[in-house]
Copies of this chain bind each other. A is one copy, B any other.
Amino acid sequence: MRDVIAAPVRRSGHLASSRDLDRTTIDDLLPRAGRMATHPGEAAHRLQGKILATLFYEPSTRTRFSFESAMLRLGGQVLSAADAMSESSAAKGETLEDTVRVVAEYVDGIVLRHPEKGAARRAAGASRVPVINAGDGAGEHPTQALLDLFTIQQELGRLDHLRVGLAGDLRHGRTVRSLGLLLAHFPGTELILIAPPELQLEADVRDQLREAGVTLRDEPDLGEAIGELDVLYQTRIQRERFTSPAAYERVRGICVVDPVMMRRLPPGAILMHPLPRLDEIAPAVDADPRAAYFRQARNGLPVRMAILDWLLGPA
């Protein structure tokens, strides 16, 4: 217990990107999160007297609650802006930098969700307290990536030599980028990109991941790829991104995971999804022990506790 509660290895100022998590930090945070999951009471006073602000310019009850619950479970307090875009001075034309600079005077840490790529990094530049990126448009979502990593480790017992299939809408790239950048720290990572051409991963993210050492492979057909995967990571297909209902229906039909498709997933593999899921995973799949997405959601709590403790906790 002592070595878990001891100070983290190093303290980054902010968590704007998966790049802020080096291998040493990951190796420190994952067992901390594990300890938070099994012995939550040990950390019940770690952040006593601290206040976390959640600034959500794009509403998301679930993500917001998981951060806020993590803060409360650590003995801290929370201030919420559930719909900061309509509520705040943003509507009056204030810059994000000005808003963050002032909010940082009232709290000890800021969790930011924002529709614009790069918003978290800009906010970090204006804030005297740690800023945590809870999703910045097509940019990154590093705490989701860390909980994904934690989930894979919990479920499969290892993080190296994994063949991870990413299916669905990869075009906007946030999930792939953030998870890929973390998996790049482990040897033998292979990402199989399973998407129709119009939803495929963009070139700049591919370049980033290849540069980081990840092997990428395109596979338009889920049925072809699924049999060789360790992890099938399904993502949401957003209806509003399609120009015609027919295009949506066609893509949806290709990517859906149902009990028939699950027969092809190897017995030791798992099915993940960041949620919310729509039609991409049939409810009948929920009962399959390889369906890990609700356990994955549960892992959001201890992983975010570990992150908050790392950034806001006593040195």
Question: Which A residues have a C-beta under 8 Å from some C-beta of B?
Answer: 44, 49, 51, 53, 55, 59-62, 65-66, 68-69, 72-73, 77-84, 86-89, 91-94, 98-99, 101-103, 105-107, 236, 238-239, 275-278, 294, 297-298, 300-301
Closest chain-B Cβ to A286's Cβ sits at a distance in Å of: 9
Chain B residue at minimal CB-CB distance from A69: B106
Judge whether B61 and A55 touch: CB under 8 Å.
yes
Bound CA span A298–B102, Å: 7
Copies of this protein, total: 3
A100 to chain B, nearest CB (A): 11
B278 & A93 in contact (Cβ 8 Å cutoff): yes
Q: Known contacts A294-B101, A294-B102; is A61 also within 8 Å of B82 by CB?
A: no
Contact check, A105 vs B276: say whether CB atoms are below 8 A apart: no
Known: A55-B61, A60-B88. 5 other contacts (CB 8 A): A51-B72, A61-B84, A65-B107, A92-B238, A94-B275
A91→B82 CA distance, assembly (Å): 14
Q: Within the complex, which residue of B72, B77, B239, B297 is in contact with A102, where a contact is CB–CB below 8 Å?
A: B297
Report whether B79 and A59 are in contact in the complex, using a CB–CB cutoff of 8 Å.
Answer: no
Contact A276 B106 (CB under 8 A): no
Quick one: which of A62, A78, A301 has the most chain B CB within 10 A?
A: A62
| Closest chain B CB from A58 CB (angstroms) | 10
| A61, A73, A94, A236 — most chain B CB neighbours (10 Å) | A61
